[in-house]
Structure 1
Amino acid sequence: MSTRWLLRAPDPAAERLLLCLPVSGLGATTYRDWPAHIGTTDVVPIQPPGRENRTRERPHTTMAEFAAAAADDLLPMLDRPYALFGHCLGGRLGYALAVALMERGAPPPQRLFASSCLAPHQGGRFGPFLPEMTDDEYLAELRRGCERRGEVVPPDELLALAVRVLRVDVELSCGYAPPKPTGYPLAVTTIGWADDADVDPGAMTEWEPYGEIRHVVLDGDEFSFRAMPERLQRLLEAELTLEASVR
């Protein structure tokens, strides 16, 4: 079984898998501060081509291309229940992947967790980034973001790599706006953040036509998820345990 989309093989003893999609501009190390397990669930970050250890590979430029390639490679490992987590662009990647997996005969995910993510039909713009912006404008926005969060600004060569990935992600997301839900059964928990500067938690109610939806708002901003705050971990464990008990 190929695991080129994963940094490690799944834990064979885990009851279920939580497949975690990267945020815009980053890769699987988005989840480096997350625990390896949440209860009996194995946390499995996904690494698309063009990022981090796959930086020499050509990145996908359309959502359909990404979803098909990821589903073909990941389907053989879905030998147990699974769920999906994605923040910002990652939520849209998670939705597209869920649909592609179900199209290939996989059962629906126990849950799609869409954090700080608008519904697919709402369009793909996120944050201050636009396809027509120059590389210098991207770099300036990345530096401002680091300064706003109180983080050390990375060296220019690392920022340049981030811009390359981020530009592809912006085009990927802006080009993806399916007009309506597919009709596949889908359970979604939207996770809003009270101090999110990019996505109003109230706007995520647009997910409701996509299936059985729960809306949750947590304290924190759009970057809080990366440290896996206790409130988020409790939510994920409770939701996954609840889904397991009713299936």
Structure 2
Amino acid sequence: MTTPWLVRPPADQPARLFCFPFSGAGASAFSAWPSTLDDVEVCPVQFPGRENRLAHPHYGTYEQLADSLVEVLAPLLDRPYAFFGHCAGAIPAFETVVRLAERGLRTPECLFVSGQPAPHDASRDRMLAMSEPELRGELEAFLLGRGITPRPDMIEMGLSVLLDDHAAAGRYRRAEPVAIPCPVVVVHWRDDPEVSLGELAGWGAYSAAVDFQVVDGGHYDFMDAPDQLRKVLTTWR
């Protein structure tokens, strides 16, 4: 099956891990990850409106994104699978699980959420109060932190994507927790200045089985697939 939502056609591995990027990013956030973790195929999801899908209309809202993902992913859920969402990417991952359950489709063996407060706390994200110049500064700092020289054209393109994603995050509201029928593993990065362990506690209301894992590193170190994270991500197999 070939789809623009996945950066490569799914292989015939026994299990799959679908990976959801953070605001302003695309599937390349997982480019340093191996193609498999043990016998689990890593499947980065490519949202529209960025990278090789720059010409595709933006998804608009997390709810619309999740609706689209249910249709796209349904044929690929024929084997055990899990979702991993970092930062704001955890919200559409969660909303997709909600919709899969509502439609009686196979739900993940596990939802991994990294560096992101629970859905009913998502509106507290400090970035939602940022102006465009402040977001530009965040983007420049992120690129410099990854060892990339922020060229003006790169900044303008990245800022355009970030502003659209930021608007979607600002529109998202879930007033109360809703339980999903799968375990949730919450990953906290020990040196994350963006999100404290306490700010992740709200996920405890979203499943009968919630596990909090603390790993070494900062907010964006997931991009390098460090060993501690790899071990956490293979616990469901």
TM-score bracket, shorter-length normalisation:
over 0.9
* Within-5 A mapping of 1:102-181: 102-128=101-127, 130=129, 133-134=131-132, 136-147=133-144, 149=145, 151-181=147-177
Which whole-Å CA distance do the structure 2 matches of 1:205 and 1:86 have between them? 16
Q: Taking structure 1 as reference, are residues 47 and 146 closer, same or farther at Cα in structure 2, changes over 3 Å only?
A: closer
Which whole-Å CA distance do the structure 1 matches of 2:176 and 2:109 have between them? 21
Q: Which moved more, 1:152-161 or 1:45-54?
A: 152-161
Which whole-Å CA distance do the structure 2 matches of 1:152 and 1:29 have between them? 14
Match status 1:74 vs 2:49: no
**SS in structure 2 opposite 1:124?**
helix
Shift of 1:38: 0.4
Q: Deviations over 1:100-129 (max 9, x none)?
A: 222232222111110001000002354545
**SS in structure 2 opposite 1:123?**
helix
Match status 1:209 vs 2:205: yes
| Aligned with residue 199 of structure 1, among 195, 202, 206 | 195
Which whole-Å CA distance do the structure 1 matches of 2:215 and 2:59 have between them? 32
**SS in structure 1 opposite 2:123?**
coil
Counterpart in the other structure of 1:244 = none
Shift of 1:15: 1.3
Which whole-Å CA distance do the structure 1 matches of 2:138 and 2:11 have between them? 38
Which whole-Å CA distance do the structure 1 matches of 2:171 and 2:6 have between them? 26
Number of positions where the alignment pairs a residue of Structure 1 with one of Structure 2: 236
**SS in structure 2 opposite 1:240?**
coil
Counterpart in the other structure of 2:60 = 61
Q: Taking structure 1 as reference, are residues 106 and 32 closer, same or farther at Cα in structure 2, changes over 3 Å only?
A: same
8 Å Cα contact 1:83/1:111 also seen in 2: yes
Gaps of 5+ in 1: 242-247
Q: Which moved more, 1:84-93 or 1:120-129?
A: 120-129
| Aligned with residue 234 of structure 1, among 213, 231, 234 | 231
TM-score (norm 1): 0.90
Q: Taking structure 1 as reference, are residues 107 and 234 closer, same or farther at Cα in structure 2, changes over 3 Å only?
A: same
Q: Deviations over 1:140-198 (max 9, x none)?
A: 23223334x26233211111111111111112122212122334313100000111010
Counterpart in the other structure of 1:4 = 4
Quote the RMSD (CA, aligned, Å): 1.7
Which whole-Å CA distance do the structure 1 matches of 2:101 and 2:36 have between them? 25
Q: Taking structure 1 as reference, are residues 150 and 101 closer, same or farther at Cα in structure 2, changes over 3 Å only?
A: closer
8 Å Cα contact 1:186/1:210 also seen in 2: no
8 Å Cα contact 1:11/1:42 also seen in 2: yes
Which whole-Å CA distance do the structure 1 matches of 2:143 and 2:38 have between them? 32
TM-score (norm 2): 0.93
Identity level (%): 33
